[in-house]
């Protein structure tokens, strides 16, 4: 099989890429993610000199694989670096088991390095894809567990044919949570919360908060106005933003979106960030989100984050539990001048779904 690796020409080859995407990710069929509109937003609407980097593997005229990255800018020890946030990596069914995934990964990441990316980032949840990345030069850094906080158990128990238990369990759980929150959640009369939507939020105020927040984190995603407008501007998606204010100053932000996971209506927390003096008040943001979630019919909150931040934000007090799923941060260093220990130290990061393309 004669395989050719080259830059992906989206203007002439998008239909083939969309067919390959549907083959590799059949769960997206019938959702906005499968549309050309979503593709164009994701890979060709981000502001900046480079919107994305896309490569593909071909055998004659057949597209066998695809490998893409979006530039995400990080402040690393005060210096701005560009990560190739790798996403939509796929190999067609007929081409699997032939080493194409690894060869395409090596080719693409070498091209990323030539384009000036400093390192790649990826967040796989399936263990079976990690060996292929490692063969292409990636390293597995650390775990990003998935945590969940139930609001109701209706759909969860129904999926397990135990729906008849839901009314009783809901009542007991509600009593337990209200009691726990009353005794364990800290209060501060100077702090207020406000819930809004992406189209109504003061984006400049949000970006100003994130600039302060970023200065407190050694490796922090730069969430300026342009990035937020792009990241939260996905077609047919609606984001809810909760802010925590000390008087009129934003000191904490939570961003979430409605999502359905295995038949359970959820609110996925895209980002949860607070200034260091306010970490213990994350529960105020969570409680405001729970009010919104109940109104929208969501039954479970989900969040991906490092264990360190789970503890700092005291999410166990809000009855979050570790779910039986774990994401992993994998990285391939492309710029040899970077201190690799800086990247490998989990304490330097604050990673959530906003750092990926998920949600």
Chain-wide mean pLDDT for the chain?
94
Q: Domain limits at 43?
A: 4-117
Domain count of the fold of the chain:
2
Q: Decide: 111 and 104 in contact? Cβ < 8 Å.
A: no
pLDDT for residue 171 is more than 80: yes
Q: Decide: 57 and 95 in contact? Cβ < 8 Å.
A: yes
Domain CATH code at residue 211: 3.40.630.30
In this structure, are 259 and 163 located in the same domain? yes
In this structure, are 77 and 155 located in the same domain? no
Closest to 147 (Cα-Cα) out of 327, 12, 356: 327
In this structure, are 81 and 169 located in the same domain? no
Running DSSP on this structure, what letter comes out for residue 349? B
341 belongs to a structural domain: no
Residue 21's SS3 state is: helix
In this structure, are 151 and 279 located in the same domain? yes
pLDDT of 170 reads 86
In this structure, are 151 and 285 located in the same domain? yes
pLDDT in tens, 246-272: 998 999 999 999 999 999 999 999 999
In this structure, are 232 and 304 located in the same domain? yes
pLDDT in tens, 52-74: 999 999 998 899 999 999 999 99
Please, what is the end-to-end C-alpha distance for the chain in angstroms?
Answer: 37
pLDDT for residue 173 is more than 90: no
- Which residues touch 15 (CB under 8 Å, ≥6 apart)? none
């Amino acid at each position: 099989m004669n395989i050719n690796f080259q830059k992906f020409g989206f203007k002439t080859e998008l239909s083939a890429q969309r067919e390959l995407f549907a083959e590799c990710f059949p769960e997206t069929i019938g959702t906005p993610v499968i549309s050309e509109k979503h593709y164009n937003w994701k890979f060709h609407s981000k502001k900046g000199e480079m919107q994305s980097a896309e490569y593909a593997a071909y055998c004659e005229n057949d597209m066998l694989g695809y490998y893409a990255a979006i530039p995400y800018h990080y402040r690393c020890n005060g210096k701005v670096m560009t990560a190739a946030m790798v996403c939509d990596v796929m190999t067609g069914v007929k081409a699997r088991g032939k080493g194409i995934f690894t060869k395409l990964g090596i080719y693409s990441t070498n091209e990323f390095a030539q384009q000036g990316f400093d390192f790649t980032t990826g967040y796989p949840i399936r263990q079976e894809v990690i060996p292929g990345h490692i063969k292409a030069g990636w390293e597995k850094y650390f775990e990003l567990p998935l945590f969940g906080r139930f609001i109701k158990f209706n759909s969860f128990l129904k999926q397990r044919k135990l729906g008849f238990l839901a009314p009783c369990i809901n009542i007991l759980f509600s009593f337990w949570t209200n009691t726990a929150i009353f005794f364990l959640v800290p209060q501060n009369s100077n702090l207020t919360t406000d819930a809004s939507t992406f189209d109504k939020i003061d984006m400049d105020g949000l970006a100003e908060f994130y600039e302060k927040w970023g200065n407190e984190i050694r490796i922090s995603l730069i969430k300026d106005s342009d990035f937020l407008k792009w990241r939260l501007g996905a077609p047919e998606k609606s984001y809810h933003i909760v802010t925590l204010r000390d008087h009129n100053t934003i000191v904490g932000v939570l961003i979430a979106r409605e999502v359905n996971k295995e038949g359970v209506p959820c609110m996925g927390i895209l980002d949860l960030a607070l200034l260091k003096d306010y970490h213990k008040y994350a529960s105020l943001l969570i409680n405001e989100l729970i009010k919104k979630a109940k109104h929208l019919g969501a039954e479970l909150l989900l969040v991906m984050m490092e264990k360190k931040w789970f503890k700092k934000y005291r999410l166990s007090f809000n009855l979050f539990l570790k779910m039986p799923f774990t994401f992993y941060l994998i990285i391939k260093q492309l710029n040899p001048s970077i201190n690799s220990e800086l990247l490998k130290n989990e304490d330097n990061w604050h990673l959530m779904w906003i750092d990926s393309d998920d949600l």
